[in-house]
A and B are shown apart, each in its own frame.
Chain A
Amino acid sequence: MMTAAQSHFAPEPVQEVVHRRNWGAWLLSFLCLGLILAVLRAGIEARILDPELFVQYLFSEQILIGARNALVLGSLAMVLACGVGLVVALMRVSGNPIMASIAAIYVYFFRGTPMLIQLLFWFNAVPIMFGEISIPLPFTDIMLLQAPTTQMVTPFVAALIGLSLAEAGYMSEIIRTGIQAVDQGQQAAARALGMTRAQVMRRVVIPQAARIILPAGGNQYIMMLKSTSLASAIGYLELLRIATDIYSSNFLVVELLTVAAVWYLVMTAFATGIQTMLEKTFPLR
């Protein structure tokens, strides 16, 4: 009797289960680690960088100003690019053939030419095209603003215009796909409730499109922060320009380029942080 009960509850001998290991991946990962170590070792053995000077320049006032300028320029340009991009995207989906063509041509030009050419163009051509900028108070002779264009279009202004208009070309396409990803049924439902076309856009389409384009937008923001280095070509004192100015007088090329790279990495981490935070605050529904 006991034995019957015991045998009923006696544990069956447990068979060990062996799953396949991917030995190839482990082999490759050790190979990668070896390569990374070799490169680091080569750099350290050749003493490409003086650590003390590196730290000294990392927190030097000029470099910090350059980093701040890059962050301000990149962020402002991104905000403007989103605004212009939204307008271009709405023109593209407006259904009006002329507006849609203008938007398509805008995207073609601003995406199709190097940003550097655009920056140089805004800095050099605009003051020739418009000798003087004047904004009169409507219906009076009083001038709200009157100045020679060369005075107005500083390297900062030219860089801001150039970067934001170029970026708007990319953003408009991202925004357009976001708008088109919001399903038509919801728009029909909103119109059936009695919302006007503008209300449907503002209350239903854009909030959902904004969430859809957030990852791509974050990517563009990171690209933009690094693209601010192009403004060095028109004499704007951003991070890379200041670093090159310093090393051209003291020849600490690697130290200063590394310093600049570290600050670009910090800015990228900042942008990634904002993106992650927004994605968590507004989860996809």
Chain B
Amino acid sequence: MSQTIISIDNVRKSYGHFEVLKGISLDVPRGQVVALLGPSGSGKSTLLRCINHLETINAGKIHVNGELIGYEERGHRLHQLPDKQIARQRRAIGMVFQSFNLFRHMTVLDNVMSGPLQVLRQNRGEARTKALELLGLVGLSDKADSYPSQLSGGQQQRVAIARTLAMEPKVLLLDEPTSALDPELSKEVISTIRGLADLGYTMMIATHEMSIASSFCDRAVFMADGHVVEDRPAAEFFAAPREARTRQFLDHYADSAH
């Protein structure tokens, strides 16, 4: 558990004059499941998108598996890497999106095979066997030949998870994976994610779903206004939040649950 796999060091990110991330530092050891909590606009999604360099950063450093992401140090400066090298770095970093983002012109099977075929250049037979195995894992073996538009939101999200796993990533970033789903469909996606936690995946999950955060996450990180406000083991975090800002946030959820 002690080996750090994601290391975020004083990361800052601005859109124009608006600073979204105001110096975030976090180390995630291998195998840990981290819940990123916080109100909308607190910077959770932006932080995840910086980790796989879908967003550039203005200051700080992000290492995944010991490799500096998106930049190269030359002297006192960080130079952005060429597109090809960033693409190569992203292979090890899986990402699941709020809006699923399946390729709508491909079948479920082709979606899951797209990474191994296009990026890893595996042969079709090998990729197909792996893809079918992963569809079994997320419980959608019978949907291999369907198109995304024929699936429910929950099924689409499970396909998206299988598509990400097909790249055999070292870490998984989940950006509000259940926010676009109704409570019933959320449940099936949550149980899939819980399965990944049991398999030992390192995960960072930005979420508004307290049942994810409280039931199987090891650690809770509460963000507000671009800062990390509280960062503690999940059990302690929910039992006795320390900061007033955190309590206020959790109270809001307690109220809305009734």
Task: Write out the residue numbers on chain B whose beta carbons fall within 8 Å of the beta carbon of A192.
Answer: 52, 54, 90, 93-95, 164
Say if the beta carbon of A208 comes within 8 Å of chain B.
yes
Q: Is the CB of B118 within 8 A of A189?
A: no
Q: Is the CB of B104 within 8 A of A285?
A: yes
Q: Is the CB of A190 within 8 A of B97?
A: no
Say if the beta carbon of A114 comes within 8 Å of chain B.
no
Query: Which residues of chain A from 233 to 285 have any CB-CB distance to chain B below 8 Å in the complex?
Result: 285
Say if the beta carbon of A41 comes within 8 Å of chain B.
no
- B96-115 near A? 1/0 per residue, CB < 8 Å: 01011111110000000011
A273 to B114, CA, bound (A): 32
Q: Is the CB of A194 within 8 A of B115?
A: yes
Q: Identify A194's interface contact among B90, B97, B101, CB under 8 A.
A: B90
Task: Write out the residue numbers on chain A whose beta carbons fall within 8 Å of the beta carbon of B115.
Answer: 193-194
Interface size of A by CB at 8 A reads 20
* Shortest CB distance B107–A (Å): 9
Number of A-B contacts (CB under 8 A): 70
Task: Write out the residue numbers on chain B whose beta carbons fall within 8 Å of the beta carbon of A190.
Answer: 103, 114
A180 to B191, CA, bound (A): 36
* Shortest CB distance A121–B (Å): 40
Q: Identify B167's interface contact among A185, A194, A211, CB under 8 A.
A: A194
A63 to B170, CA, bound (A): 68
Task: Write out the residue numbers on chain B whose beta carbons fall within 8 Å of the beta carbon of A207.
Answer: 105
Say if the beta carbon of B252 comes within 8 Å of chain A.
no
Known: A195-B119, A203-B114, A208-B104. A189 touches B91 (CB 8 A): no
Say if the beta carbon of A21 comes within 8 Å of chain B.
no
* Shortest CB distance A115–B (Å): 34
Q: Is the CB of B87 within 8 A of A189?
A: no
A190 to B167, CA, bound (A): 12
Known: A188-B54, A203-B118, A285-B147. A193 touches B101 (CB 8 A): no
Residue of A with least CB distance to B94:
A192
Q: Is the CB of A191 within 8 A of B119?
A: no
Task: Write out the residue numbers on chain A whose beta carbons fall within 8 Å of the beta carbon of B90.
Answer: 191-194
Q: Is the CB of A208 within 8 A of B91?
A: no
Say if the beta carbon of A186 comes within 8 Å of chain B.
yes
Most chain B CB atoms below 10 A, which of A189, A191, A195, A196: A189
A190 to B91, CA, bound (A): 11
A183 to B149, CA, bound (A): 14
Say if the beta carbon of B255 comes within 8 Å of chain A.
no
Say if the beta carbon of B242 comes within 8 Å of chain A.
no
- A157-184 near B? 1/0 per residue, CB < 8 Å: 0000000000000000000000000010
Task: Write out the residue numbers on chain A whose beta carbons fall within 8 Å of the beta carbon of B84.
Answer: 196
A204 to B105, CA, bound (A): 8
A263 to B93, CA, bound (A): 59
A189 to B97, CA, bound (A): 8
- B139-164 near A? 1/0 per residue, CB < 8 Å: 00000000111000000000010011
Say if the beta carbon of A199 comes within 8 Å of chain B.
yes
Q: Is the CB of A193 within 8 A of B167?
A: yes
Task: Write out the residue numbers on chain A whose beta carbons fall within 8 Å of the beta carbon of B95.
Answer: 189, 192
Q: Is the CB of B101 within 8 A of A185?
A: yes
* Shortest CB distance A281–B (Å): 13
A183 to B84, CA, bound (A): 22
Task: Write out the residue numbers on chain B whose beta carbons fall within 8 Å of the beta carbon of A194.
Answer: 87-88, 90-91, 115, 119, 167
Q: Is the CB of B119 within 8 A of A193?
A: yes
A138 to B52, CA, bound (A): 44
A192 to B161, CA, bound (A): 12
Query: Which residues of chain B from 223 to 237 have any CB-CB distance to chain A below 8 Å in the complex?
Result: none
* Shortest CB distance A94–B (Å): 13
Say if the beta carbon of B83 comes within 8 Å of chain A.
yes
* Shortest CB distance A190–B (Å): 7
Q: Is the CB of B105 within 8 A of A211?
A: yes
* Shortest CB distance A189–B (Å): 4
Query: Which residues of chain B from 31 to 65 have any CB-CB distance to chain A below 8 Å in the complex?
Result: 52, 54
Considering the complex of A and B, which 8 residue pairs feature the smallest CB-CB distances, nearest first? A189-B101, A185-B101, A194-B91, A192-B95, A194-B119, A193-B115, A194-B90, A196-B87
* Chain A interfacial positions (CB closer than 8 Å to B): 183, 185-186, 188-197, 199, 203-204, 207-208, 211, 285
Offer 5 A-B interface pairs, CB within 8 angstroms, sorted by A: A189-B163, A194-B87, A196-B83, A285-B148, A285-B149
Q: A203-B114, A285-B148 are in contact. List 12 more A-B contacts (CB 8 A).
A: A183-B101, A185-B100, A186-B104, A188-B54, A192-B93, A192-B94, A193-B118, A194-B90, A194-B167, A195-B119, A197-B83, A285-B104
